[in-house]
């Protein structure tokens, strides 16, 4: 098992939680320490895709760690150097916009801000219905910033949702591995 410490932050793209959890499961088979983090919306909202209680329980079962779910619990990530890499999966359009604008008002965006202070990698697994519309400029902003790495992504349903983008969550382990080496996995855009 690899010794690098991975943070795994889940945002509110509820329809992709199952794919994200499969990606998390793959990471727990490679990395000894994976610390789960959830956005407040994910921590306290039940949807047609499942309950928040079930999500938190699954995260704890997969990682063997308590879930960090508020700003005070994630703020020490940077000062204490708790992580070697932070994964945000799914990374919603809202979270990507906040990261692009330097806003840290949720547990996930604060985790990223705190982690980035150490110059360590943040891996983003995009899941956004407006990734090729209003969200495109924010994705572009982060593509050119140091320490941000993207899980390869593409349109998930071009006919029905032409602006929607989603990451290939099966590529999480190799994207994290490359990010830890300071490299962006290629190709970023999927066909």
**pLDDT tens figures, 168-179:** 999 999 999 999
Peptide bond into 90 cis (omega under 30): yes
3-class secondary structure, 138: helix
pLDDT grade for 141, boundaries at 50, 70 and 90: very high
pLDDT at 161: 93
Strand partners, 7: 35, 86
Average pLDDT, the chain: 96
- Pairwise CA distance, residues 189 & 158, whole Å: 14
pLDDT digits (tens, 9 = 90+) for 40-50: 988 888 889 88
The DSSP H or E segment spanning 2 is strand 2-10
């Amino acid at each position: 098992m690899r010794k690098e410490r991975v943070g795994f932050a889940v945002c509110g793209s509820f329809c992709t939680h199952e794919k994200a959890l499969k990606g998390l499961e793959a990471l727990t088979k490679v990395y000894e320490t994976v610390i789960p983090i959830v956005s407040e919306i994910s921590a306290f909202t039940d949807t047609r895709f499942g309950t928040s209680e079930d999500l938190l329980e699954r995260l704890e079962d997969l990682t063997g760690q308590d879930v960090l779910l508020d700003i005070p619990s994630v703020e020490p990530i940077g000062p204490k150097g708790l992580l070697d890499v932070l994964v945000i999966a799914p990374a919603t359009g809202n979270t990507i916009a906040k990261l692009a604008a330097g806003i840290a008002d949720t547990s996930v965006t604060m985790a990223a801000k705190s982690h980035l202070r150490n110059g360590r990698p943040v891996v983003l697994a995009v899941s956004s219905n407006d990734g090729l519309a209003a969200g495109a400029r924010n994705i572009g902003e982060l593509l050119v910033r140091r320490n941000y790495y993207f899980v390869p992504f593409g349109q998930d349903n071009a006919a029905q949702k032409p602006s929607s983008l989603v990451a290939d969550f099966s590529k999480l382990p190799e994207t994290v591995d490359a990010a830890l080496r300071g490299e962006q996995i290629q190709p970023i855009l999927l066909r």
